[in-house]
């Protein structure tokens, strides 16, 4: 009986273990890559130095989720697509490749561009049709979230082009800035309308009752996102404002999302574990998304 229980636990936790292992590996690799930049940076520049790391770790988590939790992903693949399981695994490997590329800052102009393109395809093929068919707050939040992820990736791709001032770089950064700004403004408003949800990406999960000042946290987060959205959209003081908003999100991840994820990992049931990890990774990627415009903005703002 003990062997059967151990086997069941091992099978149910394999997906969660793979997601944590992938994220942890990229975290270590990315931290090693940015160690000198982080050490030399001063003030808010230290937060900006973490932008690629914040972006890469969640991609590794989601890549492992595709490979080891394919049963959760396959229903999202449109039924008209041939070889549906093939696409689940192919996207998993693509996400892992993008994660290692962005974490090491190798070939980011291509990995970030292709990841952004993939996000826009997801919106066009899955989320936007779903929002039109069954409109609701959550599905539209997902539409904006995915657009912002794609936009931020294109900003990173534009930054990776270096000193080039060609139209490709300008187009990538402009499109990315508009999408990130629009999402920050929409999410900022949602935090005021739903002041007890987990801060960052305003989905369904609520903050635990033990967290003090839940409404205040959401109001502060909403205000930070509104200011950041306006700053990014107008391209004024973007480096400072986006860095501060991103830093606030990173603080929330440490004090709220890490305990939520740890609690979920010790809870029974694979779904609970996966949801806890996904909320953590989702918010970390959104922090990287808010920080992306700061990497493209000049030091003077």
pLDDT tens, position by position, 224-234:
999 999 999 99
Residue 6 pLDDT grade (very low, low, confident, very high; cuts 50, 70, 90): very low
- pLDDT at 290 exceeding the cut of 50: yes
Residue 268 pLDDT grade (very low, low, confident, very high; cuts 50, 70, 90): confident
- pLDDT at 143 exceeding the cut of 80: yes
Distances (CA, A) of 127 to 58, 117, 119, 206, 276: 20, 14, 10, 23, 22
Tell whether 71 is covered by a domain.
yes
Tell whether 301 is covered by a domain.
no
**Amino acid 280: pLDDT:** 97
| pTM recorded for the entire structure | 0.93
Phi, psi of 206, rounded to the nearest 5 degrees: -95, 155
**Of 178 and 167, the one with more pLDDT:** 178
In the beta sheet, which residues pair with residue 197?
Answer: 206
- The average pLDDT across 254-270 equals 92
Task: Count the helices and strands in the chain (H runs, E runs).
Answer: 13, 0
Compute the CA torsion angle 230, 234, 239, 243 (nearest 10 deg).
10
- pLDDT at 35 exceeding the cut of 90: yes
- The average pLDDT across 13-36 equals 94
**Amino acid 41: pLDDT:** 92
**Amino acid 217: pLDDT:** 96
Tell whether 116 is covered by a domain.
yes
Domain with 219, as residue range(s), is 2-296
- pLDDT at 12 exceeding the cut of 70: no
Cα 140 versus chain centre, distance? 16
**Most confident region among 163-167, 169-173, 247-251 by mean pLDDT:** 247-251
Classify residue 206 by its DSSP letter. B
> Which residues have a Cβ under 8 Å from the Cβ of 154 and sit 6 or more positions away?
112, 113, 116, 172, 173, 175, 176
- Count of domains observed in the chain: 1
Tell whether 256 is covered by a domain.
yes
Tell whether 238 is covered by a domain.
yes
Tell whether 54 is covered by a domain.
yes
The full length of the chain comes to 301
Tell whether 73 is covered by a domain.
yes
pLDDT tens for each residue of 192-245: 999 999 999 999 899 988 889 999 999 999 999 999 999 999 999 999 999 999
Tell whether 232 is covered by a domain.
yes
Alpha-carbon distance of 120 to 111, in angstroms, equals 14
- pLDDT at 301 exceeding the cut of 60: no
């Amino acid at each position: 009986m003990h062997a059967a229980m151990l086997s069941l636990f091992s099978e149910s936790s394999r997906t969660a273990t793979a997601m944590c292992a992938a994220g942890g590996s990229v975290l270590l690799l990315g931290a090693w890559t940015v160690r000198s930049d982080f050490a030399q940076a001063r003030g808010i520049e230290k937060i900006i130095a973490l932008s690629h790391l914040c972006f890469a770790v969640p991609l590794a988590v989601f890549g492992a989720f595709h490979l080891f939790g394919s049963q959760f992903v396959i229903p999202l693949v449109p039924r008209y697509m041939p070889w549906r399981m093939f696409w689940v695994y192919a996207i998993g490997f693509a996400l892992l490749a993008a994660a290692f590329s962005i974490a090491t800052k190798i070939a980011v102009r291509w990995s970030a561009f292709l990841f952004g393109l993939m996000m826009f395809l997801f919106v066009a093929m899955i989320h936007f049709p779903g929002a039109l068919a069954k409109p609701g707050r959550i599905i539209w939040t997902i539409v904006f979230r995915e657009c912002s992820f794609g936009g931020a990736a294109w900003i990173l791709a534009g930054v990776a082009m270096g000193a080039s001032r060609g139209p490709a770089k300008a187009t990538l950064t402009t499109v990315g800035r508009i999408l990130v700004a629009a999402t920050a403004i929409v999410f900022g408003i949602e935090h005021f309308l739903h002041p007890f949800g987990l801060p960052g990406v305003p989905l369904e999960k609520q903050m635990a009752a033990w967290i003090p000042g839940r409404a205040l946290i959401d109001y502060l987060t909403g205000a930070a996102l509104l200011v950041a959205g306006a700053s990014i959209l107008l391209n004024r003081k973007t480096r400072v404002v986006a860095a501060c908003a991103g830093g606030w999100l990173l603080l929330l991840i440490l004090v709220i999302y890490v305990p939520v994820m740890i609690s979920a990992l010790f809870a029974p049931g694979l779904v609970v574990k996966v949801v806890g990890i996904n909320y953590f990774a989702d918010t970390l990627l959104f922090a990287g998304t808010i920080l992306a415009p700061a990497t493209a903005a000049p030091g003077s703002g």
